[in-house]
Amino acid sequence: MSVNGHAAESRPSVSARGFLNPRVLAFIGLLVVLVLAANSCQKSQVRFSQQQAVALARQQVDFTPTRTQVRMIRQGIQSRPYWAVSLSVPTGPDQFAELAVVRIDANKGTVVSVATQRTPAP
């Protein structure tokens, strides 16, 4: 009997040991792994096509290229995909009047960098 004259109710006690059940920990671990995998897979997807990358790269330069080269590169710890688009006007072997390399995020379709080189006119 309790102090009030009522029978004491038995309540299940929550112990730390029940919370640290190996099955519960395994389930939580699996959830964390799945969330991380889904996040990294989404970041590594190529949503922006090669043709779209070339069109966007051409908008970034102020010359009309006569040669275009496109490469898919992956950079960073999470191996994010980027399009590297080289636009050029060659004047000879390994010589260019105009040269630009535009790096585009293949997931988002945003320009990350533009590097240009011009050969001064003689």
pLDDT tens for residues 44-78?
578 899 999 999 999 999 999 999 999 999 988 87
78 and 101 housed in the same domain = yes
Output the DSSP codes for 20-72. Answer: T-HHHHHHHHHHHHHHHHHHHHHHT---S-HHHHHHHHHHT-SS--SEEEEEE
57 and 35 housed in the same domain = no
Query: What band does 33 get if pLDDT is binned at 50, 70 and 90?
Result: confident
- Please state the domain count of the chain: 2
What order of strands is seen across the sheet that includes strand 80-92?
A: 67-75, 80-92, 95-105, 111-118
- Global confidence as pTM: 0.63
Does 6 reside within a domain? no
- What digits encode the pLDDT tens for the residues 98-121? 999 999 999 999 999 999 987 765
